[in-house]
Amino acid sequence: MKNRTQNQNPGGLRNRRQIWRWSLPVLLLLFLSTLLWLPWQAQRMEANERQEQLIADTLWVEQTIRFQLSRDEESLDLVGSEITAGNLAGKKWQDRLTALLRNNRELDRIVWLDAAGNQIASTDHVPVRLADYSTQSQLAAQRARDTKTPQYSHPAPPPGLSGPMQMDYHVPLYIGDRYTGSLIASYLTSSILDQMVPWWFAQDNEIALTDSDDNTIDKRAAGGPGRSVYTHRRALDLPGAALTLRTNSVKNAPKLLPNLLVGSVIALSVGLLWSLGALWRDINRRLAAEGALRQQVSFRTAMENSLVTGLRARDLEGRVTYVNPAFCQMVGTQAEDLVGRLPPMPYWAPEAMAEYQQRFSEMLAGKVPQQGFETVFLRASGKRFPVLVFESPLLDDHGNQTGWMGSILDISDRKQIEDLNRQQQEKLQASARLASMGEIASTLAHELNQPLAAISSYTTGALNMINNSIEQHGSVDPEMLRLALEKASSQAQRAGHVIRSVHAFVKQREPAREPVTIAALIDNVIPLVELQARQFFVSIQTRIAPALPPVLADCVLLEQVLLNLTRNAIEAMQEVAPERRILRIVAALEPAAPATSVMISVIDRGHGIPDEVAARLFSPFFSTKAEGMGMGLNICRTAVEFHGGTLTHAGNPQGGTIFRFSLPAMPRNVPDAMTADAKSLFQ
On the question of a common fold for 63-249 and 307-410, the answer reads yes
pLDDT of residue 585 exceeding 90: yes
Evaluate whether 532 touches 462 at the Cβ level (below 8 Å).
no
Where does the pLDDT of residue 496 fall: very low under 50, low under 70, confident under 90, or very high at 90 and above? low
Environment class of residue 255 by beta-carbon count within 10 Å: exposed (0-12), middle (13-18) or buried (19+)? exposed
Give the fold, CATH level 3, of 63-249: Beta-Lactamase (3.30.450)
Does domain 415-509 bear CATH number 3.40.1160.10? no
Environment class of residue 441 by beta-carbon count within 10 Å: exposed (0-12), middle (13-18) or buried (19+)? exposed
Determine the 3-state secondary structure of 24 from DSSP.
helix
Does domain 511-682 bear CATH number 3.30.565.10? yes
The full set of domain ranges for the chain reads 63-249, 307-410, 415-509, 511-682
pLDDT of residue 254: 67
Pairing of strands 539-544, 582-589: parallel
Where does the pLDDT of residue 406 fall: very low under 50, low under 70, confident under 90, or very high at 90 and above? confident
Residue pLDDT, tens place only, 626-675: 444 444 677 778 778 877 888 888 888 888 889 989 888 887 554 443 33
Angle 276-277-279 (CA atoms, 0-180°, nearest 5)? 65
Residue pLDDT, tens place only, 8-52: 454 554 465 556 556 656 766 776 677 667 667 766 787 788 888
* Structural domain 307-410, CATH architecture: 2-Layer Sandwich (3.30)
Mean pLDDT highest for which of 437-446, 462-471, 519-528, 608-617?
A: 519-528
Residue pLDDT, tens place only, 162-173: 878 899 999 998
User: Is residue 275 within a helix (H) or strand (E), and if so which, with residue range?
Assistant: helix 260-306
Q: Give per-residue burial for 621-635: e unless 16+ CB within 10 Å, then b.
A: ebbeeeeeebbbbbb
pLDDT of residue 221: 84
pLDDT of residue 447 exceeding 70: no
Environment class of residue 27 by beta-carbon count within 10 Å: exposed (0-12), middle (13-18) or buried (19+)? exposed
CB half-sphere exposure, 20, CA atoms < 13 A = 6
pLDDT of residue 6 exceeding 50: no
Where does the pLDDT of residue 586 fall: very low under 50, low under 70, confident under 90, or very high at 90 and above? very high
pLDDT of residue 424 exceeding 80: no
Pairing of strands 551-553, 373-378: unpaired
What DSSP designation does 87 have? -
The amino acid sitting at 386 is P
Residue pLDDT, tens place only, 526-560: 877 876 787 788 888 999 988 888 988 878 778 87
Q: For residue 508, count other CB atoms closer than 10 A to its CB.
A: 7
pLDDT of residue 452 exceeding 80: no
Look over the chain and give the mean of its residue pLDDT values, rounded to a whole number: 77
What DSSP designation does 351 have? G
Where does the pLDDT of residue 193 fall: very low under 50, low under 70, confident under 90, or very high at 90 and above? confident
pLDDT of residue 614 exceeding 90: no
Where does the pLDDT of residue 602 fall: very low under 50, low under 70, confident under 90, or very high at 90 and above? very high
Whether the CA torsion 480, 483, 486, 492 is positive or negative: it is negative
